[in-house]
């Protein structure tokens, strides 16, 4: 059973991936936050930096593409193939309103005829293997069954299935009954995604669905950075390790970002997940969130890690 680190927009870029891998590891594969190409501009400079092989040494990385145009998908896939990648992942799961309104991400599940035409062209000309990440459907979990029939017409490298519908966003609980039916019938290599936060969550999942090819975890790897390592039998995280991880991550962002403010914003975004590691430190967490400079931020995090608060 392989373990994947899920793509998380704005969070799991190449700096985060490399520092996370150094301190915690456990991921068999990482997936990039989606590349959003347009005709004749296959990726922005920021996206190109994220997928450069020299920025991702020592990890197995799959670039993810968000588009509803097969020609754009193929153009981007060719650029990635030229970089040495052998697989790309098609994002048909992003629930964002602006994305779905353009018929991308989970919006591609709204019209399976269009998705069929997209896949026909993509598989006819792709220079690399293709995997796909979807939700069960737009509104009803049962939408997944005609979707499964469609996807099984193609030699997909893998189907990563988030066990929610688009209308769930990231709320409600995964639709495990329907996912179980899919897992029992699907002929494609199947990866589960959705609400794995503990080793126990993972063990219950694989006990119920032993035929899974892989499990993808996102938010659970932020609320417990050592989760993947623990699933593989490794040790839990200690506070000294987390403090060192935090400091290197902050320093790496500071080195590559223009201005302390951008680094500060980046680090504060992560505390939306890390706060659960410090359930008794409400006052200290408030000070971290209110820090107005990187210097103040570092002072407050140092106090937290040292137990001075």
Tens-place pLDDT, residues 20-41 = 999 999 999 999 999 999 877 8
34 and 115 inside one domain:
yes
**pLDDT for position 309:** 59
264 and 119 inside one domain:
no
26 and 114 inside one domain:
yes
What is the distance between the alpha carbons of residues 125 and 309, in angstroms, rounded to a whole number? Answer: 59
**pLDDT for position 258:** 79
**pLDDT for position 18:** 98
| Beta-carbon contacts of residue 51 (< 8 Å; ≥ 6 apart) | 14, 32, 35, 43, 61, 63, 80, 83, 85
Domain stop point among 168, 201, 231? 231
**pLDDT for position 230:** 98
Write out residues in the chain with pLDDT < 70, as ranges: 308-309
220 and 262 inside one domain:
no
> Whole-prediction pTM value?
0.95
173 and 243 inside one domain:
no
CATH assignment at residue 73: 3.20.20.70
- How many Å is the Cα radius of gyration of the chain? 20
Would you call 305 helix, strand, or coil by DSSP? helix
163 and 72 inside one domain:
yes
Phi, psi of 149, deg, nearest 5: -60, -40
The DSSP code sequence of 154-213 is S--S-EEEESS-GGGTT-S---HHHHHHHHHH--S-EEEES---SHHHHHHHHHH-TT-S
Domain stop point among 203, 231, 259? 231
11 and 154 inside one domain:
yes
Q: Which domain holds residue 124?
A: 2-231
**pLDDT for position 145:** 98
64 and 190 inside one domain:
yes
Q: How many domains does the chain divide into?
A: 2
155 and 118 inside one domain:
yes
Burial class (CB in 10 A: 0-12, 13-18, 19+), 113: exposed
Domain stop point among 231, 253, 285? 231
130 and 227 inside one domain:
yes
């Amino acid at each position: 059973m392989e373990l994947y680190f899920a793509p998380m927009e704005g969070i799991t870029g190449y700096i985060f991936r490399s520092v996370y891998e150094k301190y915690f590891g456990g991921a068999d594969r990482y997936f990039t936050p989606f590349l959003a190409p347009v005709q004749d501009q296959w990726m922005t400079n920021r996206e190109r930096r994220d997928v450069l092989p020299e920025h991702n040494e020592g990890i197995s990385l799959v670039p993810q593409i968000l588009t509803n145009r097969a020609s754009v998908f193929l153009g981007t896939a060719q650029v990635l193939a030229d970089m040495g990648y052998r697989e790309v992942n098609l994002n048909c799961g992003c629930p964002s309103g602006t994305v779905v309104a353009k018929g991308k991400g989970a919006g591609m599940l709204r019209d399976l005829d269009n998705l069929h035409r997209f896949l026909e062209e993509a598989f006819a000309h792709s220079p690399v293997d293709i995997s796909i990440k979807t939700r069960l459907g737009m509104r009803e979990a049962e939408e997944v069954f005609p979707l499964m029939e469609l996807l099984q017409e193609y030699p997909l490298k893998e189907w990563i299935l988030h066990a929610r519908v688009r209308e769930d966003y990231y709320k409600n609980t995964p639709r495990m009954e329907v996912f179980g039916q899919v897992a029992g019938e699907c002929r494609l290599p199947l990866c589960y995604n959705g609400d794995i936060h503990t080793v126990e969550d993972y063990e219950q999942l694989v006990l119920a669905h032993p035929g899974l090819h892989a499990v993808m975890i996102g938010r659970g790897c932020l609320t417990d950075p050592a989760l993947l390592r623990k699933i593989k039998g490794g040790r839990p995280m200690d506070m000294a390790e987390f403090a060192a991880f935090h400091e290197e991550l902050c320093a790496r962002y500071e080195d590559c970002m223009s201005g302390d403010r951008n680094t500060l914003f980046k680090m504060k975004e992560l505390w939306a997940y890390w706060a659960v590691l410090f359930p008794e430190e409400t006052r200290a967490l408030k000070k971290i969130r209110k820090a107005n400079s990187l210097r103040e931020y570092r002072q407050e995090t140092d106090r937290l890690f040292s137990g001075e608060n």
